[in-house]
Structure 1
Amino acid sequence: MTKVTKPEENGGGLMKALTSPMQRRNFFRYAGATAAATTLVLTTSCDDDDDVDPPVGAVNLGSGDIGILNYAYALEQLEAAFYTEVVARSGSVLSANEMQVMMDLKAHEIAHREFFKTALGSNAIPALEVDFSSINFNDKSSVLQTAKTFENLGVAAYNGAGKLLTDSGVGLDYLLLAGKIVSVEARHAAAIDDLIAGNGRYGEEFIDDDGLDRALMPADVLAAAAPFIETVIDFSNLPQ
């Protein structure tokens, strides 16, 4: 697999996706460039020259509320897998306080993952294969910067996906629960920012001029997360 640079080194990666909106055409160019190194499938509705058929065996997230819940489930799988690796492999480079934070975040993300798995039941996608080869778990900066980008990506993902859930019935119930989860993700992001930069930091670069946290649509989020996911993902049926 082609080596992918660390998030802090890649100006076109997660941080760029979070801090600047992607134009539709630019998104397909960006994601297409990473497709050789990852296996994200770009199958959103688009012009004929942009169409890409999902390969056989791709994991389809589904449609409607089920698709959005599977989308959240996929992201929580990624985060839970990352913190599991951090706790297992980064003890030599993190202080006791830093490791305690990582253990807390691991527990939270596993709880989120299991919540969506249970809620989806037989509709849940299978466990995803992840690729953390670009992360140096023996380097504190690599670990903390990756944690920062994952957490802020999670916040932007929930902010963007909330409006795609139906506004009645089960969808409304999950919208309320998603609001509770995104607030936890934001607390995570602030905690990581504090570990990186010291007291007084809270991720202000991710807040817009209206005092609102950034929101990203699923296509942008999955493109940004693609370097860390090996499983082929088909999100063509998600609400737009």
Structure 2
Amino acid sequence: MRDRRAGRRWAVIVGGAVAGIGVCVLAAVVILSGVGASGEKGSGQVVGSGASDTTPTAKGERAAVPDSCTIIGDDLINKLAPNSERNVADNYQGDDQQNQCVWGAYAGDRKRQLTIELRAIAGAADQSPTDAARKTFTTERTADESGKALLAGQKLRDKIRLEGIGDEGYIVYSVDDKQGSGEAVGNVRLGNVLVTIHYSGSNKGDPLPSRDATGGATEVAKAVVTALNQG
């Protein structure tokens, strides 16, 4: 699962470069700033506290997820990635159980990329959807917090655990000094749904600071979870 997610992130970056508008590497989740989450190196601090029709497989569980391109409002998108263009990742095989949307602003002094990915994790004969999602979440958190999921050139700078947003969540922040890019990757579990956010960018060639990147990812996570709870 981790290799597949990292591959998707790289594919989005390459797509931006081929389009001729990417002049720095802005990694996609994600993911993964604006609400004042601090980003002291190695802080490990805690921060934190929409939908289409779904058919629950159990209380609080989903068999499908809403459209990630419309799960949050344009006002938040414009705040975090002003003048960005929205694209459904063409190289991403989305369906009712998972989909991903990318907003990119690659020109000028303030480059930004925001990616939201929604996944409804299915269960197995001996495992409920929520248990399966919990296991996947733990595996991805271990990879992200250890730095194993980073792309070449990225260095892990911050690890943050989220509270009050979904059932459990975290954010990691990394920097690619050579490319002048800072990226926050956030992952939140709500029942059997995983919300993965990538928020990255640069300011006049300098990496997007941890405070801005992790704060923006936190704000997006809150908005997505609120929309899911209302759906």
Question: Do they fold alike, i.e. is TM over 0.5?
Answer: no
Higher strand share: 2
Q: TM-score, normalised by structure 2?
A: 0.31
Higher helix share: 1
Q: TM-score, normalised by structure 1?
A: 0.30
**More relative contact order in 1 or in 2 (CA 8 Å, sep 6+)?**
1
- Which of the pair has more CA radius of gyration? 1
